[in-house]
Amino acid sequence: MRAAGLAAGPMTGYDADGLRKEFLDDDHAPLMVVNIGRPGPNAW
């Protein structure tokens, strides 16, 4: 991903029940959310 200019990082504080209802079925559970995108200027 870095070669494509993208960065990724884990996100905390998400609503696991809301994610499950919106995107998953009853057989799966979200463990984490990862953001993927291009860093803004002076992000580091």
Structural domain boundaries of the chain?
A: 2-29
Q: Per-residue pLDDT tens for 10-41?
A: 998 999 999 999 999 989 999 999 999 988 88
Is the model more confident about 44 or about 23? Answer: 23
The end-to-end CA distance of the chain, in Å, is 17
- Give the integer Cα–Cα distance in Å for 14 and 36: 16
25 within 8 A of 39, measured Cβ to Cβ: no
- Give the integer Cα–Cα distance in Å for 11 and 4: 21
Instruction: Supply angle C-alpha 31, 35, 36, rounded to 5.
Output: 130
**In the structure, what pLDDT confidence band is assigned to residue 43 with cuts at 50, 70 and 90?**
confident
